[in-house]
Amino acid sequence: MSTQRSQFVCILEPVRAGTPESPTPEEAELIARHFDYDCRKRDEGLLILAGRSLKAPWIGIFIFEADSPDHARHIVADDPAVLAGIFTARVQPFRVALTRT
């Protein structure tokens, strides 16, 4: 018996305002690991959409599926950039209503 996953949105914001435009070497490495993490979630079939704003105020959005709110918080908490404290993250339930076909 399969369970239906719920959808969630994670809104990421850099802790340091200059991170997106001029990351330190450490931030650049963590952002690369963050991107790899997003790719793994895509490959696991959890990621629906991910992206970021191209000008300030800087935000990233990660729309994904999880088995429960606790599972969703765990997915976000395991993101390398969140773990390292260069991004703050807010997670809340979400529902995709329309997509382009």
Residue 71 to residue 32: CA distance in whole angstroms: 23
The helix/strand/coil state of 87 is strand
Q: Which pLDDT band, with edges at 50, 70 and 90, does 1 fall under? A: very low
Residue 65 to residue 85: CA distance in whole angstroms: 23
Domains of the chain: 6-94 (3.30.70.1060)
Residue 15 to residue 88: CA distance in whole angstroms: 6
In 3D space, the residue among 86, 10, 2 whose CA is nearest the CA of residue 41 turns out to be 10
Read off the pLDDT of residues 20-77 as tens digits, 9 standing for 90 and up. 999 999 999 999 999 999 999 999 999 999 999 999 999 999 999 999 999 999 999 9
Residue 4 to residue 88: CA distance in whole angstroms: 28
In 3D space, the residue among 56, 60, 54 whose CA is nearest the CA of residue 76 turns out to be 60
The 8-class DSSP code of residue 4 comes to P
